[in-house]
Chain A
């Protein structure tokens, strides 16, 4: 059974640029959630995708957007990067939108300079 994989592992971008983060869900999981985790904080919910449609969104601006593909992999896109976007971005998959528990990938560490 393949777990949740995220790429890239680390990324450095400049303020104002755009970034795309990728996530492959665990085999058999059709739901992907994205979280932002600042240093020393708990994860903050960005949004969830279920069967290719957005199924809930946290308190993040529209410049955070996402996609889910037919194979249930997902992308997180962030436009007009700000310094405060520097964080660990975690992807989690589950068997369904109400599936428990969430299975997390190791995350992408994004640094915005």
Chain B
């Protein structure tokens, strides 16, 4: 089967650092996406990892380990506007379709 797991909800403090984990088991793997989704809005693209390792993009970084079926999204210097759901999605190699996790709701407190 295909399975993508993320924590349902996380809470962090403004200015701090938070790591959101994603583990996956899929039949086929091209790469892994992270998207941000504010309530009632469209998902917006954050990162795409194909190779193992850490990719840094401003306050956001994403890590991938293909052998472990594991990824994380690291958010630094948290701001109140970072309160949103963070969705992990695996791109399968057969047809480029995305398999999505249920998302992690991140709550930022002052």
A interface residues, Cβ below 8 angstroms from B: 4, 40-45, 48, 55-56, 58, 90, 97-98, 100-107
A104: chain B residues at CB < 8 Å are 42-44
B72 within 8 A of A: no
Most interface-central of A40, A42, A90, A100 (chain B CB within 10 A): A42
A-B contact count (CB 8 A): 48
Q: Could you tell me the dominant secondary structure of chain B's interface residues? A: strand
A44:B95 contact, CB within 8 angstroms: no
- A102 touches which of B31, B98, B101, B102 (Cβ 8 Å): B98
Contacts of B102 in A (CB 8 A): 40-42
Beyond A40-B103, A104-B42, 16 extra complex contacts between A and B, CB < 8 Å? A42-B4, A42-B89, A42-B100, A42-B103, A43-B100, A45-B99, A48-B97, A100-B31, A100-B33, A100-B91, A101-B33, A101-B48, A102-B98, A104-B43, A105-B42, A106-B40
Do residues B96 and A97 form an inter-chain contact, with CB atoms below 8 A? yes
- Is B43 touching A90 in the complex (CB atoms < 8 A)? yes
Q: State whether A56 touches B97 (Cβ < 8 A).
A: yes
In Å, the complex CA distance between A85 and B65 comes to 36
